[in-house]
Amino acid sequence: MKLGVLFSGGKDSTYALFKAMQNDEVVCLISVISKNKESYMFHTPNIEITDLQAEAIGLPLIKKETKGEKEKELEDLKEVIEEAKEKYEIEGIVTGAIESVYQSERIQKICNDLELKCINPIWKINQEKLLKELVEKKFKVIVSGVFAYKLDESWLGTEIDEDAIKKLVELKEQYQISPSGEGGEIETTVLDAPFFKKRIEILESEKRMDNDSGVFLIKKAKLVNK
């Protein structure tokens, strides 16, 4: 089955892509660039890096900008999925949804309207297990956003490794923080994965903190051989 993947460049959509590639033919990536940093639907930190990620993976990328207005952004999502269907003859859409009913229900409705299958390879996966699998399979994932008490500036740009997972699990036990950021506490960016033909090297970056929220912005990056 020919599939398009809703791709933000974060760990969840990248791991969903990885899972989908094992069983079906992924023919394109689809990214929605939201101008609203508080978007209900879309990952925003370093979304611009999806161009480099798509090149590293070797798949075409279809992008569309949205103002990020609640519900109206869904019309933009539907348009770009429809474009992917026409251009690449996709039969289904892959999402990186884990627990967000808000997101999954709306994507499912769009797929129903466009007569596409909606595939959620990591739906309801144990979040600690997800993080451990990423490390085991040699995904290079960094924290690109923190949005919760006790997640301070020191996390920004940090690679998700065994030590980071241990700390996140401890924070879950103490402060009920979702280890993988499913509650919006953490955003991530993937710099390398087993199926990347090249890896991303960060050349210039900046950390920005405001109280309990912060982002790690990749200002300049390039692809390098693995």
Domain that holds residue 52: 2-119
Q: Provide the terminal-to-terminal Cα distance of the chain, rounded to the nearest Å.
A: 30
Question: Number of folded domains in the chain?
Answer: 2
Give the side-chain half-sphere CA count within 13 A for 105: 5
Single out the residue in 83, 99, 119 at which a domain terminates: 119
Q: Residues 87-139: pLDDT tens digits? A: 999 999 999 999 888 888 999 999 999 999 999 999 999 999 999 999 999 99
Please indicate, yes or no, whether residues 181 and 80 belong to a single structural domain of this protein: no
What would the two tokens of residue 5 be?
């993947």
The domain that holds 150 is classified in CATH as 3.90.1490.10
Tell me the helices (H) and strands (E) count for the chain, helix number first. Answer: 6, 9
Residue 167 CA to chain centroid, in angstroms? 22
What pLDDT is stored for residue 96 in this prediction? 95
Backbone angles phi, psi at 81, to 5 degrees: -70, -40
What would the two tokens of residue 44 be?
């925003």
110: Cβ–Cβ under 8 A, 6 or more apart, which residues? 74, 77, 78, 81, 93
Contact predicate 191/53, CB 8 Å: no
More confident site: 67 or 105: 105
In whole angstroms, give the CA distance from residue 3 to residue 175: 38
The domain that holds 12 is classified in CATH as 3.40.50.620
What pLDDT is stored for residue 56 in this prediction? 98
Single out the residue in 72, 92, 119 at which a domain terminates: 119
What pLDDT is stored for residue 14 in this prediction? 98
Please indicate, yes or no, whether residues 81 and 152 belong to a single structural domain of this protein: no
Please indicate, yes or no, whether residues 12 and 113 belong to a single structural domain of this protein: yes
What band does 16 get if pLDDT is binned at 50, 70 and 90? very high
Please indicate, yes or no, whether residues 83 and 180 belong to a single structural domain of this protein: no
More confident site: 66 or 156: 156
Q: Which helix (H) or strand (E) holds 113?
A: helix 101-113
Please indicate, yes or no, whether residues 131 and 92 belong to a single structural domain of this protein: no
pTM of the model: 0.94
| Percent over 90 (pLDDT), the chain | 77
